[in-house]
Structure 1
Amino acid sequence: MIAKAFDYIIIGGGSAGCLLANRLSRNPANRVLLLEAGRKDDYHWIHIPVGYLYCIGNPRTDWLYKTEAEAGLNGRSLIYPRGKTLGGCSSINGMIYMRGQARDYDHWAALTGDASWSWQDVLPHFKAHEDHYRLDGGQDPETGGNSRFSDLHGHGGEWRVEKQRLRWDLLDAFADAAVQAGVPKTEDFNTGDNEGVGYFDVNQRAGWRWNTSKAFLRPALSRPNLTVWTEAQVERLLFEADDDGALRCRGARGNRAGETVEVRANAEVILCAGSIGSPQIMQLSGLGDPAFLKSLGIEPVADLPGVGGNLQDHLQIRTVFKVTGAKTLNALTASLFGKMTIGMEYALKRSGPMSMSPSQLGAFTRSDESQPHANLEYHVQPLSLEAFGQPLHREPAFTVSVCNLNPTSRGSVRIRSKDPKDAPAIAPNYLTTPEDRRIAADSIRQARHIVSQPALSRYAPVEWKPGVAFQSDEELAKLAGDIASTIFHPVGTTKMGREDDPLAVVDSRLRVHGVRGLRVVDAGVMPTITSGNTNSPTLMIAEKAASLILEDEGRRAGWPRGQQFREAG
């Protein structure tokens, strides 16, 4: 057995873990260890934007999870990709830069009783690591000034945000149709109110995927106080009693390249293994519902019934429309010449379909007039296929996928046994509330309404899937169960909340209730899901967590109140 000691042990080298490794190792006095179960991010398909097609479902980069058979999906099970490589999900995701809505964070502040989670308070943490293209050269290239965007965006940080390097006439026509249907155009989805239609901004640099390993970890690797172990899977946390009898997390035990390793933390252990991995490790370690743990032969260490509960995810319903006279990716990829053209464009210009995120055009709107805010997100694509990973259709068509931003269904993540190699049981419980089923039906009707607008008439769109035969609420809700799929945004399984909340796992400083020396910093701490893609909110959480950890470090070191260590220069 290998045994080593560090100040901070970060478990999980994904989005949050890479940022935290950077921030905590800025102080050369801190010895920081980052543990990642996957391999290095040196697989070429990680870095080519369209490479997500070859990373999802690939054991080189994906944990290959699946959900349980879902009653709300009429007995179907879905693939549930999670990144297993440095950079985590930022190495295999859709690259869409999306913060959500201001009300998401104001709601967190109300739930936790901590105003520092409000939109105005978390905005500086978004900006701290942002490098937004609109502020290149010190000013907004469209307006000639920077005040409008510099108030909301950052520049010079590690996390690059760029415009997509493509456009499609068909998508432009859909945007015009959305405006005709009452959805305003927007030039920025990240102002705190994302209602509108426009092209998504993406986390890319010059046509390459920009993952968190490249952004945050690589610049810090030269620091002698930062150690990174890949292919190191944590199997359980280690605990001891403090002098006063209180429970403290002292380290972790796991397997690194076939050898048992045990690592000790002088300051803190920080779980960044994600909404699936973090509750799995906690349950394996005896943190969770005592009755459930005992049923698996695990001795409970702390009574935390919320571990693995409160799972929330975005479920998208894919509607497909055949078109006439429109350029689509279906047609472009139907021939060898078309595929060669796509490859040459990317090789020469780093643009075109190979630079695409999975969705290019987005729209946020309301499922009906009674909604007080945008509660639907559309992902619009100039292509169609039966399911993710399958070949594109040969007929020219486009896809309008829509998801309920604020689902009321709640699921769970639970280990199946004491064996760390056993994948946990993931049960999102999609479409199990009347509200979610009603919004699913309304969202399909609204997609039809937008596509029926005059702006798209020149392409003569015809509904292909699900088909106009389905009209009633009951028919459409059942149909949604047949055709809907996740867009891979699981959150909430280590919920942040007050101590009197029976399902809360961490407090508002992300410290595990009842356990000293242990925090969770990943999407699992979200008490409710954000209104959009979840990677950038996870980075904000990590940025804020770094500040909280450094504040606590300063107290232990006796620094003046509010002072934190900052790397020279």
Structure 2
Amino acid sequence: MTRMAPSTLVHLFLAASIFTQTFARLCTSPGQLRGNTYDYIVVGAGTAGNVIAARLAENGANDVLVLEAGVSNEGVLAAQVPFMGPTLTPNTPYDWNYTVTPQTHLNGRTFPFPRGRILGGSSSVNYLVHQYGSSADYDRLARITGDPGWAWRNLRRYIDRHEKFVPPADGHNTNGQYIPSLHSTRGILPKSLPGFSHGIDARVIATTQELSAEFPFNPDTGGGDVLGLGWVQSSIGDGTRSSSATTYLNSVINRRNVDVLVNAYVTKLVRTGTVGGKPSFRGVQFANGPQSPTTNVFARKEVILSAGAFGTPQILQLSGIGDRAELTTKSITTIVNNPSVGKNMSDHVLLPNNWRVQGTESLDNLLRDPVAFGAALDQWQTSKTGVLSNGVTNHLGFFRLPNNSPIFATTPDPASGPTASHWEMIVSNFWINPAVPQPATGSYLTLISALISPTSRGTLKLASNNPFQAPLIDPNFLATDFDRYAMRESVRAVKRFAGANAWSDYVIEPVGDLAAQTDEAIDAYVRSISTTVFHPVGTASMSPRNAAWGVVDPELRLKGAEGVRIVDASVWPFVPNAHTQGPVYLVAERAASIIRGY
């Protein structure tokens, strides 16, 4: 800390006396905080947490503390350059570096499960796809919770507050690529259409015309109507990633009523008494690391847990809130016996399907050639344009199994409604395959298929009562007949897509076991390389106020306790028809309205 002249110290003291608080800043140690008591404490500066912090801080009377276990996003180039998103995870300082338990139905394999450990959370490390899902998802959420406020007709109004649709980085004409009336230009988070065109774009659109019955063109998959294939919408503005940190948090970081502390690993909620016959948890304990002393801070009004689908249930369990039988085995005293904590986890399963293709139109050589990549990075740094101003896909689509599919004779349709999907296809102009490294030579097309309406449910459990030990994450992927059937049929569908005339002079052959034809061989292929799209939800599910199951009520208050709300992906009882940042943003916007009472 630099020394100041005495007169400067006097002026600062007088200013503090007048305003009662100093200006907000990004804190790196507990000693920099203005005190140990705030009106609101937000645990987790991720996708949802930063929305809550920003909206609460808009009211200057609210004193807000944000605790983030990770590092600052400032100066992290890969968190700014859209195309570099995949380099941020796994096995980096910006990732929690979780792995799943051996997956019974995926040949016993284990693999990384990326989660952002950085300001912005997973919105700072994801692949930037930004849509909201099917309107049926929100109507289903309203039915499940018994609260019509969660229906699409209500949630869609938060789009106006949230998004700021901006021109793509290359400034191309976007007519016909989205429906402007479904979007907002007045919100806080810039999003855009693709900012770099690929040679395969025309082939994709031609296929929607040639195979329109199965792969119809959707002019806007981001406005509540997901079925069909269309142009991707991404959290990118001016060629740069838009995260909750660069938008929501940045909008309030200089306010005098906000403190943000990084490297603050929350170890548990602290019980502060009993209110209305319920234990009150208006305290939070955190540390900088396993060998660091703990610090307690307290909330006059509420603690908002926004630590994500893994962090939130882990903190609850460490605090004595969870399944008594499980907590007892970890020598944790149960304060609130709620067996739903950490259960009901669902996620989208990712299956990368690769084809070898003609020529050098793909981006594979760019990724192999440091000189070419360096030139692309120079272009981005100079003008925020070029291939790196884009995400990893220009097109995606959501699709349903045929209504007469044999699986529906034994399994009810798990989609949230007849306009919701069962699986997704993502088109990429290069090799993507988390299970298999990029080949040293050749050009590739990737058609990812993802399971969107899974019926399998997994769990998150403590490995021990050590808060610094990673939890046991078991998504239980492909545990049901429906999930296996849907993935099998998605493989057949993407093969039909790649077999269209539009690809006849481009696609050479499928790679490896994608060539499988029989049910058994396709199932074996799916088991061998499927992983996660990293969209976990459900581990602190929302449920009706008086329901015996669930973790939060429709106003997101922790059941069986007082002083705590949960606002993050964990409250979704099922995984929506979207890459989950969009739905989480809308939930957080409504949560902020509920908390503030407007």
Aligned to 1:538: 584
Using a 3 Å threshold, how does the CA distance of structure 1 residues 134 and 382 change in structure 2: closer, same or farther? closer
- Report the Cα distance in structure 2 between the residues aligned to 1:244 and 1:357, rounded to whole angstroms: 50
Match for residue 88 of structure 2 among 55, 68, 77? 55
Please give the per-residue CA displacement for 1:149-182, whole angstroms capped at 9, x wherever unaligned.
33x2222211111122111122321332243222
- Report the Cα distance in structure 1 between the residues aligned to 2:239 and 2:440, rounded to whole angstroms: 26
Asked whether the 8 Å contact 2:45–2:66 carries over to 1, the reply is: yes
- Report the Cα distance in structure 1 between the residues aligned to 2:374 and 2:38, rounded to whole angstroms: 51
- Report the Cα distance in structure 2 between the residues aligned to 1:119 and 1:466, rounded to whole angstroms: 41
Aligned to 2:478: 431
1:157 corresponds to 2:187: yes
Using a 3 Å threshold, how does the CA distance of structure 1 residues 326 and 501 change in structure 2: closer, same or farther? farther
- Report the Cα distance in structure 2 between the residues aligned to 1:101 and 1:88, rounded to whole angstroms: 24
Aligned to 2:10: none
1:67 corresponds to 2:123: no
Aligned to 1:181: 211
- Report the Cα distance in structure 1 between the residues aligned to 2:100 and 2:151, rounded to whole angstroms: 33
Match for residue 353 of structure 1 among 387, 404, 425? 387
Aligned to 2:22: none
- Report the Cα distance in structure 2 between the residues aligned to 1:403 and 1:453, rounded to whole angstroms: 21
Aligned to 1:229: 261
The residue correspondences of 1:74-153 to structure 2 (distance < 5 A) are 74-133=107-166, 142=175, 149-150=180-181, 152-153=182-183
Bigger drift between 404-413 and 337-346 goes to 337-346
Structure 1 unaligned spans of 5+: 552-563, 565-569
- Report the Cα distance in structure 2 between the residues aligned to 1:502 and 1:236, rounded to whole angstroms: 24
Aligned to 2:307: 273
Using a 3 Å threshold, how does the CA distance of structure 1 residues 342 and 391 change in structure 2: closer, same or farther? farther
Please give the per-residue CA displacement for 1:195-228, whole angstroms capped at 9, x wherever unaligned.
1222211111211111111101112012111111
Please give the per-residue CA displacement for 1:242-266, whole angstroms capped at 9, x wherever unaligned.
3643221121111147342101111
Once the two structures are TM-superposed, the CA of residue 393 in structure 1 deviates from its matched residue by 4.7
Asked whether the 8 Å contact 2:542–2:573 carries over to 1, the reply is: yes
Match for residue 248 of structure 2 among 216, 229, 236? 216
Using a 3 Å threshold, how does the CA distance of structure 1 residues 491 and 288 change in structure 2: closer, same or farther? same
- Report the Cα distance in structure 1 between the residues aligned to 2:378 and 2:168, rounded to whole angstroms: 30
Aligned to 1:567: none
Please give the per-residue CA displacement for 1:347-371, whole angstroms capped at 9, x wherever unaligned.
4442333223133321222233447
The residue correspondences of 1:467-546 to structure 2 (distance < 5 A) are 467-468=514-515, 470-546=516-592
What secondary structure does 2:504 align onto? helix
Once the two structures are TM-superposed, the CA of residue 59 in structure 1 deviates from its matched residue by 3.7
What secondary structure does 1:481 align onto? helix
Identity between Structure 1 and Structure 2 (%): 30
Amino acid at match of 1:397: Y
Give the structure-2-normalised TM-score.
0.87
Asked whether the 8 Å contact 1:162–1:201 carries over to 2, the reply is: yes
Please give the per-residue CA displacement for 1:265-284, whole angstroms capped at 9, x wherever unaligned.
11000000000000000000
Aligned to 2:490: 443
Using a 3 Å threshold, how does the CA distance of structure 1 residues 335 and 296 change in structure 2: closer, same or farther? closer
Q: Alignment length, in residue pairs?
A: 544
- Report the Cα distance in structure 2 between the residues aligned to 1:27 and 1:281, rounded to whole angstroms: 28
What secondary structure does 1:156 align onto? coil
Asked whether the 8 Å contact 2:168–2:193 carries over to 1, the reply is: no
- Report the Cα distance in structure 2 between the residues aligned to 1:474 and 1:388, rounded to whole angstroms: 20
Match for residue 430 of structure 2 among 360, 363, 383? 383
- Report the Cα distance in structure 1 between the residues aligned to 2:578 and 2:209, rounded to whole angstroms: 20
- Report the Cα distance in structure 2 between the residues aligned to 1:457 and 1:141, rounded to whole angstroms: 28
Asked whether the 8 Å contact 1:385–1:392 carries over to 2, the reply is: no
- Report the Cα distance in structure 1 between the residues aligned to 2:358 and 2:478, rounded to whole angstroms: 34
Using a 3 Å threshold, how does the CA distance of structure 1 residues 335 and 491 change in structure 2: closer, same or farther? same
Once the two structures are TM-superposed, the CA of residue 287 in structure 1 deviates from its matched residue by 0.4
- Report the Cα distance in structure 1 between the residues aligned to 2:457 and 2:397, rounded to whole angstroms: 25
Aligned to 2:461: 414
Once the two structures are TM-superposed, the CA of residue 126 in structure 1 deviates from its matched residue by 2.5
Asked whether the 8 Å contact 1:135–1:149 carries over to 2, the reply is: no
1:18 corresponds to 2:65: no
Amino acid at match of 1:161: K
Aligned to 2:294: 260
Once the two structures are TM-superposed, the CA of residue 325 in structure 1 deviates from its matched residue by 3.5
Amino acid at match of 1:5: T
- Report the Cα distance in structure 2 between the residues aligned to 1:430 and 1:129, rounded to whole angstroms: 33
Aligned to 1:206: 238
What secondary structure does 2:260 align onto? strand
Aligned to 1:561: none
Match for residue 239 of structure 1 among 264, 271, 277? 271
Once the two structures are TM-superposed, the CA of residue 58 in structure 1 deviates from its matched residue by 4.0
Once the two structures are TM-superposed, the CA of residue 385 in structure 1 deviates from its matched residue by 4.8
- Report the Cα distance in structure 2 between the residues aligned to 1:396 and 1:358, rounded to whole angstroms: 15
Amino acid at match of 1:496: M
Amino acid at match of 1:328: S
What secondary structure does 1:474 align onto? helix
Give the structure-1-normalised TM-score.
0.91
Amino acid at match of 1:173: R
Asked whether the 8 Å contact 2:228–2:398 carries over to 1, the reply is: yes
Aligned to 1:556: none
Match for residue 73 of structure 2 among 10, 18, 41? 41
Amino acid at match of 1:518: V
- Report the Cα distance in structure 2 between the residues aligned to 1:464 and 1:333, rounded to whole angstroms: 19
Asked whether the 8 Å contact 1:293–1:300 carries over to 2, the reply is: yes
Asked whether the 8 Å contact 2:356–2:511 carries over to 1, the reply is: yes
Aligned to 1:558: none
Asked whether the 8 Å contact 1:305–1:502 carries over to 2, the reply is: no
Asked whether the 8 Å contact 2:357–2:443 carries over to 1, the reply is: yes
Once the two structures are TM-superposed, the CA of residue 539 in structure 1 deviates from its matched residue by 0.8
Once the two structures are TM-superposed, the CA of residue 185 in structure 1 deviates from its matched residue by 1.5
1:396 corresponds to 2:443: yes
Please give the per-residue CA displacement for 1:501-541, whole angstroms capped at 9, x wherever unaligned.
44300000000111111110000000111112000111111
Aligned to 1:557: none
Using a 3 Å threshold, how does the CA distance of structure 1 residues 141 and 197 change in structure 2: closer, same or farther? closer
What secondary structure does 2:156 align onto? helix
Structure 2 unaligned spans of 5+: 1-29, 405-412
Asked whether the 8 Å contact 2:41–2:66 carries over to 1, the reply is: yes
- Report the Cα distance in structure 2 between the residues aligned to 1:295 and 1:448, rounded to whole angstroms: 48
- Report the Cα distance in structure 2 between the residues aligned to 1:172 and 1:16, rounded to whole angstroms: 36
Asked whether the 8 Å contact 1:309–1:503 carries over to 2, the reply is: no
Amino acid at match of 1:529: V
Aligned to 1:31: 63
Amino acid at match of 1:423: A
Please give the per-residue CA displacement for 1:321-351, whole angstroms capped at 9, x wherever unaligned.
1112460111344445533443344344423
Using a 3 Å threshold, how does the CA distance of structure 1 residues 394 and 293 change in structure 2: closer, same or farther? same
Asked whether the 8 Å contact 1:438–1:473 carries over to 2, the reply is: no
- Report the Cα distance in structure 1 between the residues aligned to 2:382 and 2:245, rounded to whole angstroms: 25
Bigger drift between 327-336 and 534-543 goes to 327-336
What secondary structure does 1:399 align onto? strand
Asked whether the 8 Å contact 1:320–1:466 carries over to 2, the reply is: no
Asked whether the 8 Å contact 1:69–1:75 carries over to 2, the reply is: yes
